Structures are given as C-alpha cells and as structure tokens.
Structure 1
Amino acid sequence: MKNKPDDRRDNVDRIQYNIDKTILNCELADEMIAKTDDSKMKQTLEEKNERREEALEAMRKEIKDEALDKEKGYK
C-alpha cells in the first residue's frame, strides 16, 4: 500500500477557513455571555474563548509560514 504524497496546495485556504470559523465561534460565545445570567455558563464560554484566542494566534502564525512556503514553491 502506497502512502499519499503530502499535498499542501490548499493549506492556506484550509487554515483561513478554520480562522474564520474560530472567530465566528468567539463572536457567538460573546453574544451568549452577554445574554445569559448563568455565571457557570459565562465562565465556561470565557474559558473557551481564551483557548480560541490562543488557537487563533497559532493559526495566524501557521498561515504566514504556509504562505511563505507557497510563495517559495512558485518561484
């Protein structure tokens, strides 16, 4: 059985999609935080958003790296 070659052509698009979805989830969580009176729910959503912000930082770094690699590949 042969392994599939590493196809990285769509990595930038895939990462950008994930960034967009993560931002949307943060915004939706912020809306829920504003609407709910449940302090436990607020805390849970705030903690999730903190983790999402950390993930966003990592994804933004990764997309820069992928974009540079993609640019080098075209030259």
Structure 2
Amino acid sequence: MAKPDNRADNVPHLQKAIQNTLKKLHDTEDYLEEFGEEIPQQEKETLLAKNERREQSIAKFRREVSEEAHENP
C-alpha cells in the first residue's frame, strides 16, 4: 500500500538544501580566492561550472519554496 503524500515538511527540507548549497558555493569561492593562482586552469573551470550549477539549483529551490508556501499557507 502506498504511503500518502505528506508535503508538510517540504519547505524546511528545501531551506536546508538551500543552506547546504550556499555553503558549498561560498566554500568553493573562498578556495578559488585563496588558491586560484596555484591550481590548474581545468580545475578552476570545473569549480566555476559547479558553482554556476549551484546558483541555478538555489534559484530552483527558492521557486519551489515560494510555490510550497503559497500552496500550504
């Protein structure tokens, strides 16, 4: 038997995902600032691409939080 869809805790889960992703984004920025001159260009480009994807994910998470908040006031 399938469990009922319980969305009551979606917003807190999404907010935690946003916080975790922001931390990774900032940690990567700090790393690049400190060691950017010492690491290979390919690694730097990989990290910058990851941060772009993180920014996109954060935007999606925030849209989801907004939608959830409007659906479940």
Scaled by the length of structure 2, the TM-score of the pair is: 0.90
RMSD: 0.8
Query: Can you give the 5+ residue segments of structure 1 that lack an aligned partner in the other structure?
Result: none
Distance in 2, Cα, partners of 1:43 & 1:34:
13
Query: Can you give the 5+ residue segments of structure 2 that lack an aligned partner in the other structure?
Result: none
- The number of residues matched between the two structures is 70
> Deviations along 1:19-70, whole A, 9 cap, x unmatched?
0000000000001111222122211110000000011111110000001111
Q: Say yes or no: does 1:13 pair with 2:15.
A: no
Query: Higher RCO, 1 or 2 (CA under 8 Å, sep at least 6)?
Result: 2
The within-5 A match list for 1:48-63 is: 48-63=50-65
Structure 1 runs (4+) deviating above 6 angstroms are none
Partner secondary structure for residue 27 of structure 1: helix
User: Kindly, what percent of the aligned residue pairs are identical?
Assistant: 33
Scaled by the length of structure 1, the TM-score of the pair is: 0.88
